[in-house]
Amino acid sequence: MGLSLQKGQTLSLTKQNGDSMTNVRLGLGWDSAVPAKKGFFGGTKTVEIDLDASAILFDAQGQHLDTVFFNQLTSKDGSIRHTGDNLTGEGDGDDETLMVNLPNVSPAVAHIVFVITSYSQQTFDMVQNAFCRVIDDAAPGSPEVARYDLTESGPYTAMVMSKLSRNGNVWNFQAIGAPANGRTPGDVRGAAASAL
């Protein structure tokens, strides 16, 4: 189990031996907070929550460079890869993941902001157990390094969850948890830029 971060806390992605992490995975997950409905034949049906995880890339001046999301699964420089869209939020563990090869991130990129949006306009008061976690995929067993559990809920359709920021050769992970509204990552680009 990784370090549990609170909103606003930052963690350096430098290992104890001084080496920087190389291949990290950002896992994002959530569950439906809406009570299951009785089905026509007596069973119950959980309300599906379709949220979308995305990565928005910015330079040091806060200019947008690229976006990785369900319609563009790989960054232009090839360093970030979205593993695909989960349409229900069902099941344990990560619902959507983004793989980041930190040494291959374009030198122009200073910040990678991770957001969750609701294309179908479902709101975060319908969501529970939302989280974002960092996994070190270069280490044996792919251990979880840090985790941020979202405590906010409300009538908004997007969330700026976290960001990776570069300081020289060192990358830092920060828990953000800022509410926003939008169906796509393009709709929340301004909110993501405000988190820089």
Query: Mind listing the pLDDT tens digit for each residue in 20-47?
Result: 899 999 998 888 777 655 555 665 555 6
Q: What CATH code is assigned to 3-33+46-189? A: 2.60.60.30
2 pLDDT band, cuts 50/70/90, is: confident
What is the secondary structure of the chain as a DSSP string?
A: --EEEPTT-EEE-B-TTSPBP-EEEEEEEEEE-SPPEEPTTS-EEPPP---EEEEEEE-TT--EEEEEBTTB-B-TTS-EEE----SS--SSS-SEEEEEEGGGS-TT--EEEEEEE-TT---GGGEEEEEEEEEETTSTT--EEEEEE-----S-SEEEEEEEEEETTEEEEEEEEEEE--SSGGGGHHHHHHT-
The answer, as to whether pTM is greater than 0.85, is: yes
| Domain spans of the chain, in order of start | 3-33+46-189
